[in-house]
Amino acid sequence: MIWLMSKQQRVAYARVPAHTVLFSPEGPLSSGKFCGKIQNLFLQYPEGEGQDTLPAYLRVCMWLGNVIHSKDLKLLEHGKMVVYAETVSEDAGHLEGRVEG
């Protein structure tokens, strides 16, 4: 899940299934169909709020994999790459991302 935050509150989200951005060192046929490719994500309000408008639109290039395989990706050809560090929240039982750069 990608969350749009405002003043420590979650205001919008998009679901990105992990298997669609999963990287495999075996090659593109073993990786997810959106791994390392630019996607357009339309965020939506949580709990059905604001059905008439979209809160945000993102163009992202994502991959999910071990950092030792990051040199195999051609993500830098698309522009500036931002790195997110993900941690597991034991209280909520979900992943939370934070910008590193």
Q: Within a domain: residue 24?
A: yes
User: Phi-psi bin for 35: left (phi > 0), alpha (psi -120 to 50), beta?
Assistant: beta
Q: Which residue has the higher pLDDT, 41 or 91?
A: 41
Q: Which two tokens mark 86? A: 């993900």
Number of domains in the chain: 1
Rounded mean pLDDT, 79-86:
59
Q: Within a domain: residue 100?
A: no
Q: Each residue of 11-51: pLDDT tens digit?
A: 889 999 999 999 888 888 888 999 888 899 999 888 766 66
For residue 59, is pLDDT > 90? no
Mean pLDDT score across all residues of the chain: 75
Q: What is the pTM of this model?
A: 0.62
For residue 54, is pLDDT > 50? yes
The residue range of the domain holding 7 is 2-71
